[in-house]
Chains A and B, each alone.
Chain A
Amino acid sequence: MQISTHELKSKIIESLKLQDITPEQIDDDAPLFGTGLGLDSIDALELVVLLEKEYGIVIKDIEEGRPAFRSVRTLADFIAVKRPQ
């Protein structure tokens, strides 16, 4: 089941304890790392934990997960496919 990007952005903000930013300010297609939201390697690990805690998705192969972390939209798509029914 597809999750809304707004919901995912809210969870990212909460999980990463981002301050002074709202879901509306995050572009669905902007890069999560480097430019765009400007997340770093520690945030990446925190997002992996978020996927497991919130959606029951365990990423065992980092290469499998890498494309999913490009943007909020790719992450939402990844969750929709991998989420246990």
Chain B
Amino acid sequence: MSEISVIATSTATAADLPTARLGQRFGRLDLQSQLALLAVASLNINFDELARDRIGICLAASAGSLSTDVNFWNGRNGVGGPSPTLFAYTLPSAAVGEVAIHFRLTGPNLCFVGDNKIILSEAADMLRRGEADACVCIFCEAVTPECGQIISVPPTATARAFFLKNDSEGTGTLAEFDRDIKALSAIIFPTQSAG
């Protein structure tokens, strides 16, 4: 019976971004995409070991693209209007595209706004259904001070990534028919679970 395992986990925060070296175009990405890309890079997965069209991407963005939306909105009265580059990131799924392009992953992808636990169950389902052999999962919490002020939440900039695979050699497993999301979440999001 196949098992779904967590092969690697990583975290990226705003403090890590200034020293990130992920190509000439990294600077133009929005905060969420930068965090997501850096978190996935920090997994140190050799994607060449798998067929890239069999690697899925599953992203949950706690606040969607709201921080970028606010930046874009705030730029409307400036000379020349808001930044065209920002416009491209006024979609919660933009970070999925950036990860797919950078790592050349062409498998299925999903994007959710809100709870991080949903990506675990959805990614596991993706693997169980045979749509992919592995899945890069990312949970982004990107709330800029300007956005936080509007929605009354503290600013935050963190992305956690983990790599799920149809494998039994990972650090934690999700047995078939076992939806013990809480237990697996404790492995992936230890500080959150402890709280």
* Residues in chain A within 8 A of chain B (CB atoms): 16-21, 38, 42-43, 45-46, 48-50, 52-53
Contacts and interface: CB of A to CB of B under 8 A. Distances in A.
Given A49-B83, A52-B79, A52-B80, A19 B24 contact: yes
Contact of B85 (A19, A20, A46): A46
Most chain A Cβ neighbours within 10 Å, of B23, B79, B85, B88: B85
24 contacts: A16-B28, A17-B28, A17-B85, A18-B25, A18-B27, A18-B28, A19-B21, A19-B23, A19-B25, A20-B24, A21-B24, A42-B28, A42-B85, A42-B88, A43-B85, A45-B84, A45-B85, A46-B83, A46-B85, A48-B80, A49-B81, A50-B80, A52-B80, A53-B78
A18 to B, nearest CB: 6
Contacts of B24: 18-21, 38
Most chain B Cβ neighbours within 10 Å, of A20, A38, A50: A20
Contacts of A17: 27-28, 85
Contacts of A48: 80, 84
B72 to A, nearest CB: 13
Contacts of B81: 49
Interface residues of B, number: 15
A16 B84 CA distance: 11
Contacts of A52: 79-80
Given A42-B88, A46-B83, 17 more contacts: A17-B28, A17-B85, A18-B28, A19-B23, A19-B24, A20-B24, A21-B24, A42-B85, A43-B85, A45-B84, A45-B85, A46-B85, A48-B80, A49-B81, A49-B83, A49-B84, A53-B79
A57 to B, nearest CB: 10
A57 B80 CA distance: 10
B27 to A, nearest CB: 3
B112 interface: no
Contacts of B83: 46, 49
A21 B26 CA distance: 12
